[in-house]
Structure 1
Amino acid sequence: MKKTSTPLISGQYFRNRLGLAAILVLLLLLVVLARLLDLQVLHYQKFRQLAHDNHVALVPVNPPRGLILADHGQILAQNQPTYAVEVTPDQTSDLDSTLDRLQKLLDLSDGDMARFDKSMAAKASFDPIILKANLSPQQVAALAVRKADFPGVRVTALMHRNYPFGALFSHVVGYVGPITAADLKRHQAENYRGRDYIGKTGLEGHYEQRLRGQMGYQIKQINAEGLQVGTLEEQEPLAGDNLMTHLRLRVQEAAANALESNHYRGAVVALDPNDGHVLAMVSSPSFDANWFVDGISTAHWRSLLDNPGHPLTDRADNGLYPPGSCAKPFFSIQAIQSGVIGPDFQTYCPGNFQLGGHTYWDWNRGGFGETNLTKALAWSVDVFYYKLAVKMGIQLQDQTLWRFGFGKSPGIDLPGGLAGLVPTPQWKRAHLHAPWYTGDSVILGIGQGYLLVTPLQLARAVSAIANGGYLVQPQVAKEWVNPSTGERSPIPNAAPENLHIDPVALHAVRQGMEACVNTGTCHTVSIPGISIAGKTGTAQIPEGYAHGRTIYNNDSLFIGWAPVDHPKIAVAVVVENGGHNAWQALPVARATIAAYLQPDRDPGPPPAHLHLQH
């Protein structure tokens, strides 16, 4: 029988397959070895860090924000413990569904959801974003029992900023709000995280860095289920320092009540005229600073925007007004010191002043007859100052205003602060394309025309008359207080600027301003037992145009100080749209002065109202 070769073929085939398999195994081993080399040698540090991060979590710890206090210790801004629900978008499998379910579970408003959307648009997806702060116990419990249903959502404890006096100090103390990308450009980003608050306005904004403190951290150990099981390392946060201010609660309340009880729009600034310490700073109407802490709701924001009183405007240092007759004392000092007139100068007031065919009327069209400086200030005689303006000319008028701090920011320790406008011939040519006329100087001589000042500038300027000729720099903050040790660090004031006012000129003007309170247009501001010097002002404000004529309303102003010889308080008051008299500012000033100098006494009714215009 013939032999077959099949077994030989089968054996060769088996050996070929075995060799191929060996080659494949060898290749796989080489791949594994290459991968091990990549993981354990070439990229060791990278994957070591990733492995570490997979079982630890860095948890930032916010520092307690420093308190803000009034001079006698009343708390103006504080921290309250609260709970909030926060969402980390990139940790949720379906963000829209998660938000819908949270809205129903926690009974959240559309405003809450809109604020979340706005915050999310400004932050990275890995940043936790507060959906709702100030959770009720019921809301916290509802989330706790359904925690597993909401990945990327957690309840966290926060220190919530609170303003106990609501609207009373909103403009000067300011408020905090959720941090934005724009905020981080102005501050140290490493000291903040996605859900932080930051000072936006007022003292909160100006002193943000020291009020904020320094953030701490915890390195938490995480198990395979993502739960925190221990703390590996911890750095305690450094609390922000407490800020003590010069603000006096009773004075602030008195000024605000005097404005608000009469539904006045306006501002009050009260300074210690000797050093510029701010005793009160009121702008009315105001707003509740608590509305802004978690991001203001649409309804609240719309109510502020639609309010014709513009409550968001800080009238005290950002409201611009013609000073009216409140400018007259400053022109008087400069005119005497420059030799334009002597302290005994007098002129006749027939009730009007003629210049270039134009008639400039006095507020008292019957005239005042022979008028010296004391009478001119006491009764605010316009004709006296029309004539004085012509004698001085625009260059000396401008020098006067700049000398007393108008036309430049007063340098207060608050964000903003307008410089106002001191008009010059150059300014008029550049902005109105017209030359400066003598008539412009005449109107400027009674504080009208293009001149614009702030109440803060007026308070600062009148302080220089009160204190003997020194221009102070206003300051709200008094000292820092370490919350742990109680150590106090005074915040220094800038030294007052010596204006080198001629004592003769200063005495003559002070005499006229004291007469203004004792017998003149300021009579209703007087308080028994307190000597006061002051000056009223009425500023015409154009409101419209009808029947070929401009329609005006009048702002009512007052500047003054008390006591006359040993000044402790200087006040500037502006009441907008007071009508045709100047008396509206007087009871406001009277209440403010009395609250500081007679804190435990009722100043009694004001003297009989004189119905005066200036």
Structure 2
Amino acid sequence: MKNSKFKALGIDKSKRYLLTKIFILVLFGILLIRLSYLQIYKGKEYKDKSTNNRVRFIRNAAIRGNILDVNGDIIATSKIGYRLNYLEERKTTPEIIKNISELTGYSEKYIEKRIKYGEISMYTRQNMLIEDLKEKVAHKIFEKIDEYPYLEVEMYYKRKYLYPNSSSHLIGYVKKISNKEYENLKDKGYSDKDTIGKEGVEKKYDSILKGKKGYQYFEINARGRALKTIKKKPSEKGEDIQLTIDMRLQTFIENEFKKSKLTGSFIAMNPKNGEILTMVSYPTYPLDVFSSSIPSDVWNKILYDKRKPLTNKSIAGEYPPGSVFKPIEAFGFLNSGLDPKEVNEGRNAIYSIGEWSWKSWKRGGHGPTDLRKSIVESVNTYYYKYGHKYGSKVITKAAKNFGLGEKTGIDIAGERAGIVPSPEWKKKRFKQGWYTGDTINYSIGQGYVTVTPIQIARAYCVLANKGYAYTPKVVKYIIKDSVKEKTVSHKSLEVNYPRRFYDVIENAMIGVVEDKHGTGKRLKTKNLKIAAKSGSAQNTHFKETHAEIAGYFPVGNPEIVFAVLLQGAGGGGSIAGALTKKFIDEYQFLYHGIKKEGENDRK
């Protein structure tokens, strides 16, 4: 039958044999080419796939470096933590939700909400259900992980804070990296599972603290069980950081804020190098809570607290400086030709320009006033007169010379610059001209001018050093393998006024503390010469004025510059002065062994 078909086609037997041979050769040729392609061109790819089927790669997290205070006491360290990740993105069933709820102890409603709305990693597509899984629960899931293919328990190094309710704005906290943060940091060695610093020192020095990850290659069997380690590189612990902060003073002042129900900032720093011993922003927030899942009731309580606990008032709180501004602008008056001994006669109770009048804070006035008395008793009318005479440009130039209106460069994130106003600034901001009343308000540290407490602290370092200040800093040493590397102190301000100007202002500031009518006499301390200026700044958000005081001690060889702002607390000399006096006494005892009067039994 077949032969008849071939005959019909005109093909004889010999030709049929030849065609069959050619067909077989072509078929073998195709197979040979395919084999060559798979062996030569695709060989490495398939070898890698085969290797990957029997080898697993795991990255080992590094232990984060410790944070220590100036005395070497640990503030922040690390411990093992656990996260529960969901591997099915948003897909789920009532049974899965029920199983996870029973495993973890969290409500079904909470689990369902996390699956629906939790942040899913852009790269691993994992949905983190529980950020801070209890250790017992984690081990229970580890034992039965094969029964829950939609779950993964991830181990990580969790931060432990030894002072969980102290120094929160200064220290900051760590938390899992967000998708946005990962996009910005992935080229710097970060993974989408890392925890990173979110605020304060933890954020600013994250690259130093985080360490370097290690890795391991495991050979596994068909069931995925590890057989042996093929290759590994250990992780490197992050470097430790030692702060300039003395936690004894830090916690002491925070407790005083708490006892007296105060809100605000307290800064104490060394003018000789910019090192900060104390930087309190109160109220604080709980670092241990912020480093894990924040319960909604805790978050709402913090978020809607009128005292704004999340704001670092020391570096980001912008306030009118009030009368602590007067010694600074006085340099502008002196540089414009003011004779410090020139006396304003009369009661100095009211300053008038035409039909406009501005009163002194003291009923009845202060009587005849020269520059020294204007600072000692905080005589507003003196500054109204010379502010009006010399103009806003002189005040602005002096303020900028002392570093106001710009960031100090402190080594933690979130600093604000404040405002040093000018006619040009007001025109741009409000589309309005500059009025005489603007200058009058400006002359007593009110109106449009705002500063941060850290700016005032640096400005008063210029006064203490008689012409220069260092950039404020909170980190003293970077420690690697027990070797300390000191951070560099930089001069950031040099204010070249004549030395006699500094002497005139310092003499007046000593009078603030030591004279009978000085507004800061609450600071007076036996055998300690202190220079200071108190202030009370009006504001629209509080019934009482902000209480402010700034200064330095001991005069002649200053160790400490202080700057204090208490929101809506009242008088600067009385309220801020009383808090500062407590600090001075504590500092004198801790650093010089000097007990305050009547405290003979303290050891």
TM-score, length-normalised on structure 1? 0.88
Question: Is 593-602 or 193-202 further displaced after alignment?
Answer: 593-602
Name the amino acid aligned to 2:349: G
Give the distance between the partners of 1:85 and 1:432, measured in 2 at CA.
Answer: 52
Structure 2 counterpart of 1:310: 308
1:50 matched to which residue of 2? 49
Query: For residue 490 of structure 1, what is the amino acid of its counterpart?
Result: K
Equivalent position of 1:497 in the other structure:
493
Following the alignment from structure 2 to structure 1, what is the Cα–Cα distance between the partners of residues 134 and 43?
45
Amino acid at match of 1:502: P
Counterpart in the other structure of 1:67: 66
Identity of aligned residues (%): 27
Give the distance between the partners of 1:440 and 1:283, measured in 2 at CA.
Answer: 31
SS in 2 for 1:327: helix
Equivalent in 537, 562, 574 of residue 571 of structure 1: 562
CA, structure 1 residues 566+236, in 2 after alignment: closer, same or farther (shift >3 Å)?
same
2:238 maps to which residue? 240
2:538 counterpart SS class: strand
What displacement does 1:142 show? 2.5
In 2, Cα distance between the equivalents of 1:561 and 1:56? 65
Letter of the 1:123 partner, please give it.
M
| 1:228-377 superposed matches below 5 A | 228-339=226-337, 341-348=338-345, 349-377=347-375
Following superposition of structure 1 onto structure 2, how do residues 148-167 of structure 1 map, counting pairs within 5 Å?
Answer: 148-167=146-165
- Taking the TM superposition and a 5 Å limit, the aligned residue runs for 1:152-191 are 152-189=150-187, 191=189
CA RMSD of aligned residues (A): 3.1
3-state secondary structure, aligned to 1:391: helix
1:114/1:250 Cα in 2 relative to 1: closer, same or farther (>3 Å)?
farther
1:525-564 paired onto structure 2 within 5 Å:
525-543=523-541, 553-564=544-555
1:603 aligns with 2:596: yes
Aligned 8 A contact 2:323 2:534 in 1: yes
C-alpha distance in 1 between matches for 2:290 and 2:413: 17
Tell me the distance in 1 between the aligned counterparts of 2:497 and 2:538. 30
Q: What do residues 495-547 of structure 1 show as CA deviations (whole Å, max 9, x unaligned)?
A: 2532122221111111111111113111112233322111111111113xxxx
Q: 3-state DSSP class of the match of 2:49?
A: helix
Deviations 1:131-155 (A, max 9, x none): 3435233x24422442220125344
User: Relative to 1, partners in 2 of residues 1:141 and 1:381: Cα closer, same or farther, differing over 3 Å?
Assistant: same
Question: Could you tell me which residue of structure 2 aligns to residue 386 of structure 1?
Answer: 384
Partners of 1:238 and 1:319 lie apart in 2 by 38
The answer to whether the 8 A contact 1:129-1:194 is kept is no
Gap runs ≥5 in structure 2: 8-12
Which deviates the most, 318-327 or 390-399? 390-399
Distance 1:246 1:127, change over 3 A: same
Secondary structure in 1 matching 2:447: coil
* Residue type at the aligned position of 1:509: I
1:472 Cα deviation after fit: 2.0
Q: Deviations over 1:549-584 (max 9, x none)?
A: xx8541111111111221111111111112467522
Q: Cα–Cα, structure 1 residues 363 and 88, in superposed 2: closer, same or farther, change >3 Å? A: same
Deviation at 1:77, TM superposition (A): 1.4
Give the Å deviation of 1:95: 8.0
**For residues 276 and 605 of structure 1, do their structure 2 counterparts lie closer, same or farther at Cα, with a shift above 3 Å needed?**
farther
Please list every run of 5 or more consecutive structure 1 residues that lacks an aligned counterpart in the other structure.
Answer: 1-5, 544-550, 607-614
> Shift of the alpha carbon at 1:56?
1.0
Give the deviation of 1:211 after TM superposition.
1.0
Q: How many residues align?
A: 584
Tell me, what secondary structure is at the counterpart of 2:340? coil
Aligned-partner Cα distance in 2 for 1:29–1:264: 91
Q: 1:256 Cα shift? A: 1.4
- 1:265–1:197 CA distance, 2 compared to 1 (3 A): same
Q: Once structures 1 and 2 are overlaid, which stretch shifts more, 471-480 or 348-357?
A: 348-357
Instruction: Give the TM-score of the pair, scaled to structure 2.
Output: 0.89
Displacement of 1:44: 1.8
Other structure's SS at 2:368 match: strand
**Equivalent-residue separation in structure 1 for 2:74 and 2:304 (angstroms):** 31
For residue 524 of structure 2, what is the amino acid of its counterpart?
A: S
Question: CA 1:238–1:577 in structure 2 vs 1: closer, same or farther (change >3 Å)?
Answer: same
Indicate if the aligned counterparts of 1:178 and 1:195 stay in contact, CA closer than 8 A: yes
TM alignment of 1:59-208, pairs within 5 A:
59-89=58-88, 98-108=96-106, 120-126=119-125, 129=128, 131-137=130-136, 139-189=137-187, 191-208=189-206
After superposition, the Cα gap between the structure-2 partners of 1:239 and 1:562, relative to the gap in structure 1 and judged at 3 Å, is same
Take 1:295 and 1:116, find their aligned partners in 2: how far apart are those partners? 15
Q: Match for residue 465 of structure 2?
A: 467
1:452-474, Cα deviation, whole Å (9 max, x unpaired): 00000011111111112212210
Q: Decide whether aligned partners of structure 1 residues 396 and 113 sit closer, same or farther in structure 2, where only a CA change above 3 A counts.
A: farther
Q: Tell me by how many angstroms 1:197 deviates.
A: 0.3
CA distance in 2, matches of 1:289, 1:41: 58
Q: Is the 8 A contact 1:198 1:208 kept in 2?
A: yes
Aligned-residue offset at 1:191: 2.6
Mean CA deviation greater in 416-425 or 578-587: 578-587
Residue 369 of structure 1 deviates from its aligned partner by 0.8
Q: CA 1:254/1:529 → structure 2, altered by over 3 Å: closer, same or farther? A: farther
Q: What residue in structure 2 maps to residue 546 of structure 1?
A: none
Q: Compute the displacement of 1:604 (Å).
A: 5.1
Give yes or no for the alignment of 1:518 onto 2:514: yes
The C-alpha deviation readout for 1:293-352, integer Å capped at 9, x for no partner, is 23433333222112111100110000010000110011112222332x122122134311
How big is the shift at 1:185?
3.5
